[in-house]
Structures are given as structure tokens and as C-alpha cells.
Structure 1
Amino acid sequence: MTLRSGAVTALLTATLIASTAATAASTPAAPRGEGAGVLRVSTSTPLTTAARLQAAGFDLVESRIGTDLLVVGDAAVRSRLGRMGYRVTVQQTAPTTERPVSTGRTNGIAAAAATFYGGYLTADEYVQHLSDVAAAHPDLAVTRDVGDSWRKTQGLATGNDLVAICLTKLQPGDCQLTPTSTKPRFLLIGAVHARELSATELSNRFVDLLANGYGTDAEVTSLLDSTEVWVVPVGNPDGREIVEQGTTSPYLQRKNANNSLGACAVPPTSSNQHGVDLNRNFTWKWGGTGTSTNPCDQTFRGSSAGSEPETVALSQLMTTLYPDQRGPLATDAAPLTTPGYMLTLHSYANMHVIPWGDTTTKAPNDAGLRSAAFRASYYNGYQTGQPGQILYTVTGSTDDYLYGERGVAASTMEVGPNSGSCTGFTPAYSCQDGFWTANKPAMMYLAKAARAPYQLSLGPTTTSVTAPTTTVTAGTTFTLTATGNDNAYGTSGVGKPTAQTVNAGRYFVDTAPWNGGTAVAMTANDGSWNSTSEVAKATVPTAGLTAGKHQLWVQTRDSSGNWGPATSAFVTVG
């Protein structure tokens, strides 16, 4: 793949110089940088103020500081907010950095991957990386072209495919675009909003974790043996390529590249840009709260529900991967046994939000949705709840669409803090290491729970599975321990579930519980199952086990009879 940025960069850079000079001359104290900055709007009524600002077309950050709201904006936005009666201060100025030289690819052979802004891969390279992974791991991964970008539907050379990778230990019939899979499916979508660099980078790292960990990491091996993991790291490739055109700092292009609907700014500004907000364009409850009818606004909902080819592609991917499990009414619940989970990554707020997004009324499967999100937030500490409970209401979003149309569990994580050196849509690339450390176990938890998230998330989280790391002599025994924690929930948010007593543990050898493995009871390490967190213990015989590596799974149960997801470990007998 080759980069297509030369002519566009020249045009955008020339326009940028004139635009930046004019802005600097009139408002020298305005937020700096090509993308503009983040403004803090003081308010004591955040929900009411958010609704007012959304209706007026402002670009609200998915975050708050106390009750104050954050708005992406330049001097013009700051003046407009002031005229509306709000006290506005500059929360963050856009960083600037020298743009690294991209190396690209020659004749399809990878040199150093093309990067920008300190290390992020370009949109082309993220997609190319999926092909590289599939080529390197033909037993684990295949790629699928799942649709076209807006530019491609217009016949433009700058158009893109939307590409997904499916990772699993491939068996006949796996990774097909059909809802009749024999394995549960976990779907991860990044960068529906183009400027949110963390979303694509974490999606990419999740792909690498799975592809490189099979056979050596017990949890990864268990996941890929049992589950199809689908990843779309770049849900908005046209928009992402616009982001990459910023010469000193990425443009804050949020939307796709549809420039047919209004005379908007080129290059994009924080308050005026071409395109449709794809996360307001999905057909479920389209056109309601949290959207704008102005084509140049950041939250422009589009000319009609599902009007954009990227929205169509992602919608069709969801409805192709998952059968319909829910009735037609908003109050209809999906069965507790419904498999599947979809997670979208956005930035930034350190939040984890669940359906419904348009109301604070609970979804019919709220218990499972909320418990799964709080379980993931145990690892990353994110504030958890419905958008209207912790942020602001929204319509036409991805997670509401999938849950509404199919009854499949879905949620959105907003990656990154609202203050500090790693805040923002375009944090320094070095920040991704910390984001990945916090979010890797959260993403793994949700992927494991995809077998039956409405049930499994109600049970305890099993952690710290400990088996011998050295070879165990055949004919002897070894000690297996694990911690079952029913209070493994994040501590911030709305509606945190109540922890129950952990009252049982069990383990399986070589055959997983979902494949009919034989359960062996464990005992409480302290002699009594009487706490919300218990260490389960077992003495495991090796008699009858062949020499070599064996896989173990451990589950724990709460006092209501809910078993949590199984956690796996390897042990070697010799």
C-alpha cells in the first residue's frame, strides 16, 4: 500500500498557514495548534448544559471535570460560548511536534512501517498490519473486506476499504461472514471517530497480543481455541487520513470525509469540518438527542439514518456476525444465554458506557451489561454507567445499535484521562504503553465473557491462578490455587453491583467447561467460603496425564449460583 498524501498535504498546509496567521493576529491567547484546544465550560447543571451545547452543534469531549464540561474549540468557539453566558477557560492547548518522515512501502515489501506523530502507524499501515498478521499466522487469522469508505464509493483514488481481522484457532467454518458460527464472537472496533488515536493503537496491540500469544499464554490460547475475535482497528479510514495531514499536529477531524453536504472549512477546524459523525449516524434512535443538523458541526448526524457507507459497513458486519436475540420493543430483553460482545474504543474520558445512550432508563439486560462493564473497570478504574448518567445523552451510536437490533451486549470505553500529560485525542505515542497496561486485562475479560456475558459477568472474577511453572514429575501431585473475587468491580460510576459471598470453586484439566470437561471441586484455602473474595485451593493428581503441557481452567461461584468466566493456566508434566 502507498500513502496518498502529497497533493493533499500541500493544499492543506497552504490553507493552514493563512488560517493560522489570521487566527493568531486576532486572538493571540486562543488555544494553539492545528487542531485547536480544549475549553472548560463552567456549569452546575451538566446534563442540561450538555444538551443545550449539543443542540447548538458544539463538539463536547466525552469527559467532565466535576460538573464542568469540556468543549473542543478555538477562539471563535470560546467567543460563542461567552456570548451564550458561559464562563470559559482554556483547559488544554493542542501540542505541536515535528512531523516524522514516513517511509512507506516499496513494491509491497515492508520497509519500516510508515508512522506519524511520534510513532502512530498511518491508516494504510494499520490495515497492512492486519494482512501481515494473517500471512504470518495462517492457522489463526484471516482478513475480511467488510465495506467501503465514502471516498471509495465516489470513485476517488483516496478511497479506502474497511478491513476486519478474525482471530481464532481456525477450524472448518470459522471466521465466515454468517451469524451461524459455532463459536461465540467478540468484536472490537476502533477509530469510528478519526482523531482518536488511542482507539486504533490499542486495537492494533490487541491483535498482536492474540496472534503472538497463542500456545505460550494460557489465557490467549484458551480464548482463541474457543472464540472468534474480530477487530476493525480503523472504522473511519478516510477521516483518519485527514487527521494525518496536519503538518505540526494532527488535525482534529472527527467525522468521515463526506464533503458533499455543505461548505465547510478546509483544513478542518475544531468547530467547522466536512463529514458526518459516524457515531451519530447509526439507525437505532437516529436523529435524537446529542446530534446536530448542521453539516459542518462535529456531531452532524447525516442526511438520513445510516446514510454513510462506513455506517452501513459496520452495521452489516454486526448484523452478519450476530443473530437477532431480542424482540422489537425497547423493553424486550435478550435471553441470559445470549452470546457475543462488541466493544468500541473512543477517547478520551476514562469512562466505560453502556446502553441505553439516549435515556437514563435502564436497558432490559441492564444487570448483565452493567456488571460486565464494572468488571472491566476493575482493571482500568474507569467511571462506569450509561452516557446520560455520567456524561450526556446520545443517539445513533454503535453500541445502542447492536444491542437494540440484536440484543447483543455492547459498550464503549473512552480511553485516556481528562487531565495530565497523556490527556487528549492525540496524546504522545509514549502514553500508549500505560493505556495498554490498564486496558489489556479489561479487554481480555470482556472477550472471555463473550460466551455468555449476561450470565458470566454476574459471577466472580477469577484471578491469580497459580500452578507450578517448573515441570511436575508424573505420578505426583501439585497445588493449584486461584482467587475468586465477587467484588472485582470498578469503584467509580453509577449502579455498581453488590458483591456476594464466593461459595465454591472448581477446576478442569485439558477439557474446558464449555466443551464438557469434568469439574473437580476446590476447597476454601482458609477453610470456609464466607467472604466476597476467597482463595480456592486444590491438590491435583498427575496420574493418568501424559508427559507434556496440559491446560487448566478455574472458575468460582457466588452465593446466587453464578459462575464467572474461567481463567486458564498451563502446567507441564514430565
Structure 2
Amino acid sequence: MVIPRRLAPVAAVLAAFLMVLAGQSGAGAAAPAPDSPSKQYLVTGAATAQQRSQLARTGAAIDNVRADGSVEVSAIPSEVSAIKRLGLKVSLLPAPAPQPRAATSYHTYAETLAEIDQVVANYPQIARKFVAGKSYQGRDIVGVKISDNVAADEAEPEVLYIANIHARERLTNEQALYLIGILTKEYNATSRITNIVNSREIWIIPISNPDGQVYDMTSDTSAGRMWRKNRRPNSTSTGTDLNRNFAYRWGCCGGSSGNGASETYRGPSAESEPETKVLANFARSRVVGGVQQLKIFLDIHSYGELVLWPFGYTYANTVPGALSADEEATHRTIGRQMANSNGYTPQQASDLYITDGTTDDWFWGNQRIFSYTFEMYGSSFYPSPSVIERETSRNRDALLTLTEYADCPYRAIGKQQQYCGTP
């Protein structure tokens, strides 16, 4: 239909109004707000955990702490100004260089789903695909369960490993796929892996933030959009930092931002984001007969080469009623064992800087699941695909060790009889 020129302004207003209505008709249909104008900077002068916590309190996302004590951050202009007011020196870092897509490259969301489907087809007796829920834009949050008798819910210790909760951290998805690969391909071929699969129920979610991951992987030749958050619009921008949105000490301690444009925006309320709720609901669903079946949780991030454990919201090593001396010692001992294997630096999360509303704090503080974070290799979020095989296999022993501890983590400190009733 041709609209008369004199009615064109009216038609434009009507069209805009209809678009607004369409955006309100379904969560996935809303037009996204402008993206956060963050850039990556190098900050010098914040060499201690307390100084880094002051830095994080501005809302900037701390991406990496270098060996010389300088800190790489992602920050919006107002946060850069706040950092400078702390008396810290700030310099802009160069944007990641585009990399051509090679034969060995990072998996897209579609390629990840295809690989999962292939694994399940190849190893149907020990691998089962599951959908934990859907993202804001309606994408499946997909995982693989690995166990002997995989179709049954057996009385075996369970572990949950997630990756790619921050969209730009591409190497983490590859780590999850690597673990799926060795647990299936080496079953009945490697005794250690055969024993693990026969005695554990292992749940692995390679991409916890599919909307953000898809948005970040914009083209075959792009270095990426440096996108961290999910893709649900907020009042000022787009996206919430899912690793600040969990309902344990949410927004308590200066370890997240209330600014929607910030990379560490915690959301309008705890578990406000569909992806956060999917992960939390999955953990809650594993409570059987009043007992949490998940004994170990790992959140795989990059970069920094760290093994972290709770708590992140407080510098205290122990917290009455929330983290006893034996619980802290168990976390620390297992963390150090893994670090001895992969060469990472082991530490309590708050030794890096204060955070709140994180996965580790929630999975331990709310569900009493022994919880860890890996910060993988890299000097950027987009290391060359040529390092994928080397850096994922580097964590082989650490991942298997962590999985083995699911029977009784207190075994690490020699107190399995006291806590698990086993010799």
C-alpha cells in the first residue's frame, strides 16, 4: 500500500508505536538498548587486594592482574574517571586484532550443539544431552550428562561444570568440550577415566550465556566484540553480568555495579536474569530426598591462570555458619593440588579482589557444593586458536582430580571418616 506523503509522519509515529508494542509482547522480541561503551585499560598503582577492591568498586571489570601488579580492566568512561580519582594511572589498551578463521578454531554456538549431538550419537550408553533451560533470546542452554547407565539417576556423587558465562571468554567453551571428549572417547580405554565415568554423574554445560556468545562471535574474521554480559536490555544499556547476579550476598559488598552500562552490572535483583535462574534451578533440581547430589562445582573462566575458591565477598578465610575451618582447608587443599598440576596460581577469590553475587559464592554459600573457578591461559580474551589443544589438555589432570574428589572432598584433608563415614 502506498501511503500519501502528507500522512507519512503519522504513519511513522504509528509504526514506532507498533514496534514498542511488539517489543512488549514477548521477552525475546524487545529491541536491545545501546551497548555498553566499555574499553580495555591498563591500571597501575593497585597492587594489593584492597586496592584492587577499591578499583572494582568503581564498577570496572577486572580482566587480569599482571605479574608486575598492573591490572587490566574493562571500563566505561564514568568508571575511568572514578579510577583516576583514586589516584591510579590509566592507559588505553589496543583492541584485539582480528584473526582469520583457521582449521582449528573456536566453536560457535551452532558448532557446539552439533558436537554435542555427535558425542551423544557416538556414545549413547554414557552420554546424554540435556537442556537446562532457555536464554533471554530463547536459545537452549545445553549440556551433556556423562555416566555409565546415563539414562538412570543413580546414587552416585555428582559434579557440575559450566563455561562461557562471560561471552567473550571463548577458550572456556573449548575446555568444556575437551572434557566431554576425553570422558567419552577414553571410556573403556583409560582406566582412570573408566573408573570416573562408572562412579560419577558428570554434568557439563559448555555455553552458559548463549546469547552473549553468539553476539560476541559476530563473524569468521572478527576478534570479537569484547562482550561480557548477557543480552537482556536494562534501563540504561544492554546486559547483566551473570557472575554478579546470583542470590548469595548479591550486591552486598562493593563487588558489583548498579549501573546498567557497567560490565559488572548485577541486575535489578538477584536471579533477575533467565540464564542465572536456569543454572540455579538446575542445582536446586539435584536436591533429592533433601540431599544435594552435586558435590563439586567448577565455573571455567579466562584469563589469568588462577584456581579460585570461596568466598569472594569477604577477605575472611572462615565465616561462622558458612565456611568452617575444615571446609576452608578442604577447598584450599584441593585447589592447591589442582594448581600443582596445571601451573595456575591458587587462592581464595577475595585475594584477587572483592566480588559479590558470584557463582562460586552461591554454589557453596547457598547449596554447600564445593566450588571453584578456573581462570585459564591468555593475555587476552581471544588467544590464538593454535593454543586450544595445549591449554585445554593442560587441565586434564586437574579436572580429573576434581571429579574424583566428588565422593568425599574432605578426603583431601584426611577427614573422610569424620564427614563421609568412609575409611
Q: Considering the TM-score relative to the shorter chain, is it more than 0.5?
A: yes
**How far apart are 1:429 and its partner, in Å?**
0.9
Task: Report the structure number with the largest CA radius of gyration.
Answer: 1
> Which of 403, 406, 409 lines up with 1:453 in the alignment?
409
Structure 1 pair 282/444, CA: closer, same or farther in 2 (3 Å)? same
Residue aligning to 2:42? 39
**How far apart are 1:65 and its partner, in Å?**
3.2
Higher RCO (C-alpha under 8 Å, 6+ residues apart): 2
**How far apart are 1:404 and its partner, in Å?**
1.4
Q: Is the 8 A contact 2:46 2:52 kept in 1?
A: no
**How far apart are 1:197 and its partner, in Å?**
0.8
Q: Is the 8 A contact 2:297 2:370 kept in 1?
A: yes
Amino acid at match of 1:299: T
- 1:254 partnered with 2:228: yes
**How far apart are 1:67 and its partner, in Å?**
3.6
> Which of 302, 305, 313 lines up with 1:347 in the alignment?
302
Residue aligning to 2:349? 387
Residue aligning to 2:205? 232
Q: Please give the per-residue CA displacement for 1:510-553, whole angstroms capped at 9, x wherever unaligned.
A: xxxxxxxxxxxxxxxxxxxxxxxxxxxxxxxxxxxxxxxxxxxx
Amino acid at match of 1:380: N
> Which of 403, 418, 434 lines up with 2:390 in the alignment?
434
**How far apart are 1:561 and its partner, in Å?**
11
- For structure 2, the residue ranges without an aligned partner over 5 or more in a row are 1-31
Amino acid at match of 2:269: S
Q: Is the 8 A contact 2:44 2:69 kept in 1?
A: no
Q: Scaled by the length of structure 2, what TM-score is found? A: 0.82
**How far apart are 1:182 and its partner, in Å?**
0.5
Amino acid at match of 2:243: N
| Cα distance in 2 for residues equivalent to 1:561 and 1:295 | 47
Residue aligning to 1:404? 365
- For structure 1, the residue ranges without an aligned partner over 5 or more in a row are 1-11, 20-33, 102-114, 153-159, 175-180, 265-273, 327-337, 417-421, 460-556, 566-574
Residue aligning to 1:173? 152
Residue aligning to 2:24? none
**How far apart are 1:140 and its partner, in Å?**
0.8
Q: Is the 8 A contact 1:276 1:295 kept in 2?
A: yes
Residue aligning to 1:378? 340
| Cα distance in 2 for residues equivalent to 1:379 and 1:407 | 25
Q: Alignment partner of 1:275: what SS?
A: coil
Q: Scaled by the length of structure 1, what TM-score is found? A: 0.61
| Cα distance in 1 for residues equivalent to 2:182 and 2:169 | 21
| Cα distance in 1 for residues equivalent to 2:86 and 2:202 | 47
Q: Is the 8 A contact 1:127 1:163 kept in 2?
A: yes
- 1:425 partnered with 2:404: no
Q: Please give the per-residue CA displacement for 1:55-108, whole angstroms capped at 9, x wherever unaligned.
A: 222121143434432213588876664455322345x5333224439xxxxxxx
- 1:145 partnered with 2:115: no
| Cα distance in 1 for residues equivalent to 2:381 and 2:334 | 26
Q: Percent identity, please.
A: 27
| Cα distance in 2 for residues equivalent to 1:215 and 1:35 | 48
Instruction: Please give the residue correspondences for 1:241-320 in structure 2 after superposition, counting only pairs within 5 Å.
Output: 241-245=214-218, 248-259=222-233, 261-264=234-237, 274-289=238-253, 290-320=255-285
How well do the aligned residues superpose, as a CA RMSD in angstroms? 3.1
Higher strand fraction (1 or 2): 1
Amino acid at match of 1:387: A
Q: Please give the per-residue CA displacement for 1:9-28, whole angstroms capped at 9, x wherever unaligned.
A: xxx9xx99xx9xxxxxxxxx
Amino acid at match of 1:398: T
**How far apart are 1:49 and its partner, in Å?**
2.8
Aligned length: 380
Instruction: Please give the residue correspondences for 1:133-212 in structure 2 after superposition, counting only pairs within 5 Å.
Output: 133-152=119-138, 160-170=139-149, 173-174=152-153, 181-212=154-185
Structure 1 pair 184/71, CA: closer, same or farther in 2 (3 Å)? same
| Cα distance in 1 for residues equivalent to 2:333 and 2:247 | 26
Higher helix fraction (1 or 2): 2
Q: Alignment partner of 1:65: what SS?
A: coil
**How far apart are 1:367 and its partner, in Å?**
1.5
Residue aligning to 2:60? 58
**How far apart are 1:124 and its partner, in Å?**
1.8
Structure 1 pair 79/172, CA: closer, same or farther in 2 (3 Å)? closer
Structure 1 pair 401/76, CA: closer, same or farther in 2 (3 Å)? closer
| Cα distance in 2 for residues equivalent to 1:280 and 1:405 | 15
Amino acid at match of 2:215: I
**How far apart are 1:173 and its partner, in Å?**
2.1
Residue aligning to 1:502? none
Residue aligning to 1:94? 95
Structure 1 pair 39/378, CA: closer, same or farther in 2 (3 Å)? same
**How far apart are 1:242 and its partner, in Å?**
1.0
Residue aligning to 1:474? none
**How far apart are 1:311 and its partner, in Å?**
0.4
Amino acid at match of 2:276: T
| Cα distance in 2 for residues equivalent to 1:280 and 1:444 | 28
Q: Alignment partner of 1:412: what SS?
A: strand
- 1:415 partnered with 2:376: yes
